[in-house]
Amino acid sequence: MSMTHRGLAALALCAALSPLGARAEVFINEIHYDDRTASGDIGERIEVMATAGESLSGYRIYLYNGTSSTTAATFYDNDLVPAGSLVACGATVRVATVTYPVNGIQNGSNDGIALVNPSGQVVQFLSYEGVIRASNGPAAGRTSVNLPVSETNSTLAGTSLQLGGTATGSAGFTWRASATQRFNACNNNQVVSAPNPAPTVTGTTPANGATGFPAAGDLAVSFSETVTLGTGAFALQCSLSGHVALTYPASGSGFGISTNTALRGAETCTLTVAASQVTDAGGAKMAANRTVGFTVAEAAQTGYYSRVNTASASQLRCSLHATLRGHTAYPYSGSGTSTWTILEIADENPANTGQILDAYRNRSYPKVSGRAGTGTGLTYNREHTWPNSLGFGSASGNLGLPNAPYTDTHMLYLTDANYNSDRGNMPYANCALSAQCGERVTEANNGAGGGSGTYPGNSNWFKGPNGNTGSFEVWNRRKGDMARAVLYMAIRYEGGVDPTSGQTEPDLELTDNRAQIVITSASPAYMGLLSTLLAWHQADPVDAAERDRNEVIYSFQGNRNPFIDHPEWATAGLFTSAKPASCSLN
């Protein structure tokens, strides 16, 4: 039988008193009240243990006499418990002993002991040689838990009743018959196991109360130890976006949490960590839910272009470059946020949030499962509108992965894998049917596309061979989108070193001279055709979908495509201007 009634045995103290957040418990651990000494019972004592090692000063022991009435027992003595001393009984605990004079503790039958905390609350109410009910004192109205063992007038002096076994607290120990006294030391055959501390949250991104959190920023939660997460361990609720579905690993000590979307500017959000769904290797769960409230950064971009100098084409160019550079680069692929993540938000089908709308075929594909390499049939992949072989073809180190420009999502678009292959690294140029260009039709989606046989119609047109003598003409609805992506690249990448990554960047330039458009890892590297791109920019103005795309990418990368925000800045003079002797920022 356990020593205590579980509802009375435990005193859960403040975590600040409990190392590593362990559950603190204070209980009676050893008793001697009767023996065969002729002159009277000697060495009578009661020992109290605190498993978390806190001081026992302020606790009291009340002795109850139930001899006259087991249903109306009254206390006859109360004494302060000493502060105690630390002992190592497996785990380090604190024990304190109250010592009584000869015959100081009433012999049974039916007497009791109440352990009372400094606040006057009964922690434990035990009895020996029979159950009692207290009628006065702190235990008034309570019924005792009777010990399964007892002492008699035949018990040897120098012995005691003791809890024994291996456990973290009283419920795991058992009372054992008299054995050699161990007051102020570990009991015979008693080992106190170090309690398994509950996992706690040690840090979050963002911090509670944070403001200006990036709309597409990844959330993060770290724990005090490795944990396994159940369904719904993390939940995000926002004032405008509502419930936001999250993705995260199933186990670990630190978790990156992806929203897989861009939150709404200036909305308030609450991230909740569900205590019941966070479990450590020993089965312990968090003590309580953790909530993190934060505010998303404003969507309005007031001041983004405040440093731009429009006094001349060369000053506009250098000041735009200074504004755009140093953006946040994401991995091309992999777990967590990557270019796939960003593009599947940026190029989402407005009619179906579970699909993307590709830029060339205008076909709607299911997100993720429609990616190239994931199945058979038509799939989508990532189109480098500025072919990476033209200036940054390396897969690692300078000019390549894992940083920009290879992963710059202002330039990347999701496109049909076959049409992407048809384009290759050809420059963008008009490609008339009369020049024997091949047609790549579009599908009717989102109010555009479809039809064939008439140039230019709603089709893409191309003619090989691949390389600078070939041409790829984008269908009319997306001509401006592709043009502005390439125009952005020529201003964003002007050589030098990225201020964030320290990686060397290429100098990308636009030209109408096809002979300059060659595969290279040197700078300057060229792409075109400049005059065609500017014409497409004018013929297919910025629309709402492109502005929304700019916002999504800005929320991840932290920079913008200026030719979407300010179409008037895209001129031949800008792209042919020389670098000024000094760049004057506003």
What is the domain-level CATH number for residue 230?
2.60.40.1220
Confidence of residue 21 (pLDDT cuts 50, 70, 90): very low
Q: Which residues contact 548 (CB under 8 A, 6 or more apart)?
A: none
- State whether 365 and 470 are in the same domain: yes
| Sequential DSSP letters for 87-108 | EEEBEEEEEEEEE--TT-S--S
* pLDDT at residue 6 greater than cutoff 70: no
Q: Last residue of some domain: 296, 316, 351?
A: 296
> What pLDDT band is residue 510 in, cutting at 50, 70 and 90?
very high
303 part of a folded domain: no
Is position 307 within any domain? no
In a domain, 527, yes or no: yes
Residues 51 and 121 reside in one and the same domain = yes
Q: pLDDT grade, residue 397 (50/70/90)?
A: low
In degrees rounded to 5, what are phi and psi of residue 327?
Answer: -75, 165
Let me know whether 179 and 230 are in one domain: no
**324 falls within a domain:** no
305 occurs within a structural domain: no
Render pLDDT for 165-178 as a digit per residue (tens, 0 to 9).
999 889 999 999 99
Boundary of a domain, candidates 192, 220, 252: 192
Q: pTM above the 0.75 mark? A: no
For residue 393, pLDDT over 80 is answered with: no
Please determine, for residue 371, whether its predicted confidence score (pLDDT) is greater than 50. yes
Range with the largest mean pLDDT of 9-18, 20-29, 186-195, 331-340: 186-195
Query: Which one is predicted more confidently, 211 or 2?
Result: 211
pLDDT computed for residue 434 by the predictor: 86
Q: Is residue 560, in this structure, part of any structural domain at all?
A: yes
Do both 278 and 410 map to the same domain?
no
- Per-residue pLDDT band at 368 (split at 50, 70, 90): very high
- Do 344 and 239 fall within a single domain? no
DSSP string for residues in 21-36: GPPP-EEEEEEE----
Number of domains in the chain: 3
Q: How confident is the model at residue 396 (pLDDT cuts 50, 70, 90)?
A: low
Residues 207, 174: one domain? no
When pLDDT is averaged across residues 512-538 and rounded to a whole number, the result is 96
pLDDT tens digits, residue range 121-165? Answer: 999 999 999 999 999 999 999 999 999 999 999 999 999 999 999
The model's confidence at residue 394, banded by pLDDT at 50, 70 and 90, is low
Q: Is 115 in the same domain as 230?
A: no
Same domain, 216 and 169: no
For residues 403 and 96, give the distance between their C-alpha atoms in angstroms, rounded to a whole number: 63
pLDDT over 70 at 400, yes or no: no
pLDDT tens for 257-316 read: 988 778 888 899 999 999 999 999 988 999 999 999 999 987 656 689 999 999 999 999
Alpha-carbon distance of 154 to 394, in angstroms, equals 91
**Domain range spanning residue 49?**
6-192
Q: How far apart are CA 298 and CA 211, in angstroms?
A: 10
The pLDDT tens digits of the residues spanning 186-216 come to: 999 999 998 788 999 999 999 999 998 888 7
Which comes out higher in pLDDT, residue 18 or 494?
A: 494
- Mean model confidence pLDDT for the chain: 91
**Residues 367 and 489 placed together within one structural domain of the fold:** yes
DSSP per residue, 165-203: EEESSGGG-EEEEEEE--TTSPPTTEEEPPP-PPP-EEE
Q: Tell me whether residue 269 is in a domain.
A: yes
Confidence of residue 29 (pLDDT cuts 50, 70, 90): very high
**For residues 566, 571, 577 and 580, what is the CA-based torsion angle, rounded to 10 degrees?**
-20
Give the pLDDT confidence score for residue 401 in this predicted structure: 55
**One domain for residues 49 and 105:** yes
- Both structure tokens of 571: 């001129």
| Whole-number pLDDT of residue 2 | 28
- Cα separations in angstroms, 550 against 96, 343, 410, 481: 69, 11, 8, 11
> Within a domain: residue 247?
yes
* Structure-model confidence comparison of residues 490 and 337, the more confident one: 490
Asked if residue 518 has pLDDT above 80, the reply is yes
Answer yes or no: do 389 and 450 share one domain: yes
pLDDT one-digit tens code per residue, 218-255: 899 999 999 999 999 999 999 998 999 999 999 999 99
Residues 411 and 514 placed together within one structural domain of the fold: yes
